[in-house]
Structure 1
Amino acid sequence: MERYEPVFRDNAIDADVLRNLTADDLKELGIASVGHRRKLLAALTELRAHTEEPRHGAASPGDAKGERRQVAVLFADLCGFTQMSREVDAEEVLAVLDRYFD
């Protein structure tokens, strides 16, 4: 099936378009073998089943998977850091940051 990759690439068929291909599309792309078309259509059906996006509003808030946590966020603006990072080697910048985080 790898031989069809150039056909898909030449026809600007990306992942979004690929999911929506039909048997007629495959014929138009020049995939003449019925067996290959059937295999590709079966693979596309499986791809659609695994990439369907969840419907909005289908799940209740109680069905959400995850957890609520309390976190703290620190934003630090190192005075002169941007200018310094332009003027010195990356290793020196890393050394300054290591000292800062220590």
Structure 2
Amino acid sequence: MEPDPRFTLANERTFLTWLSTALALSAGGVAMAALPDGLFIPWVRTALAVVLVTLSALAAGMAYPRWRNIQRALREQAPLPPPALAAVFGYGVAAVAVIALVVIVMGA
């Protein structure tokens, strides 16, 4: 059975949002890596950049499987799968922000 097109399109928008989030995380990681040496301790800057780019890869890599699983559930009128990586992204971005804030405040 074909799901209501509104749900299919909402699922597609969510998929595209995951890709946009991945792009933003990747840009943030590249920007963090490109900061001048005097702004952050080099190993902290590198660690934050690696975390952001890793989160970017996870978001991009999991976007399609999540879209596919939700589309399947919509077609079968089954419960939607839980957002398995939501906590990873939430806590990961929060950790980067807190560490960056601490480094900025300590450097001021």
TM over 0.5: no
RCO greater where, 1 or 2, for CA within 8 Å and sep 6 or more?
2
Q: TM-score, normalised by structure 2?
A: 0.31
Q: TM-score, normalised by structure 1?
A: 0.32
Higher helix share: 2
Say which one has the larger Rg.
1
